[in-house]
Amino acid sequence: MKSLRAEEYYSFYRPNKVLRYFYARRKNRLGRKLGFFIPAGCFAEGLKIYHYGSILVNPKTRIGKNCTIHGNCCLGSKGIYPDDSPIIGNNVDIGQGAQVLGGIIIADGVKIGAGAIVTKSVLEPNVTVIGIPARIVMK
pLDDT attached to residue 122: 94
- CA distance from start to end of the chain: 32
**Distance of CA 1 to CAs 67, 107, 133, Å?**
13, 24, 31
Q: What is the pLDDT of residues 5-54, one digit of tens each?
A: 898 899 888 999 999 999 999 988 988 888 888 888 889 989 898 887 88
Predicted local confidence at residue 118, as pLDDT: 95
Query: How do strand 68-69 and strand 48-49 relate by DSSP bridges?
Result: parallel
CA distance 59 to 5: 15
In this prediction, residue 126 carries a pLDDT of 94
Radius of gyration of the chain (CA): 15
Instruction: Return contacts of 127-131, CB within 8 angstroms, 24+ apart.
Output: none
* Closest to 49 measured CA to CA, from 7, 14, 2: 2
pLDDT digits (tens, 9 = 90+) for 50-67: 887 889 999 899 999 999
* DSSP one-letter string for 65-89: TT-EE-SS-EEE--SPSSP---EE-
